[in-house]
Amino acid sequence: MNDFGSIRDAVSRVAPRYAIAKVAVFSLYASDQARTGGDACLLLDVGCTFSRADAAQFRRFIAEDLGCTVDVVFRSALTAEDFARAKTEARVVYENPDVTIASTPDMRAQATPPAAPKPPVR
């Protein structure tokens, strides 16, 4: 069974490869009440260079390490109310003070590509 310690260890092995400032566990894992085979729910604060590809790889590596489904939620995607609730329920498993937290992760910027320039009017 995955417990808080095994999640912390997995995140500590994988997170340094990416622009991740902080990872916290929330849901039942944070309170050590998780059931066998339950999802691991991670709340991430990421740097501005963290991409969609990084998110997919991070999630996959953690899931492979733990042998369970991993849900990833980005702090920047939460409302202030949801973040306040998650913050009270979450337990930090990883911090990197050298990464500056981005207000909008790169994956949002990638979701809508810039419009092509319009041809000049003659």
CATH 3.30.2030.30, domain 4-103, yes or no: no
**Annotated domain spans of the chain:** 4-103
The pLDDT of residue 38 is: 63
pLDDT in tens, 36-55: 556 788 999 998 899 989 99
Q: What is the pTM of this model?
A: 0.73
3-state secondary structure of 108: helix
CB 20 within 8 A of CB 47: yes
Instruction: Provide the b/e sequence for 14-38 (b: ≥16 CB within 10 Å).
Output: bbeebbbbbbbbbbbbbeeebeeee
pLDDT in tens, 100-122: 887 654 444 443 344 455 566 66
The pLDDT of residue 119 is: 61
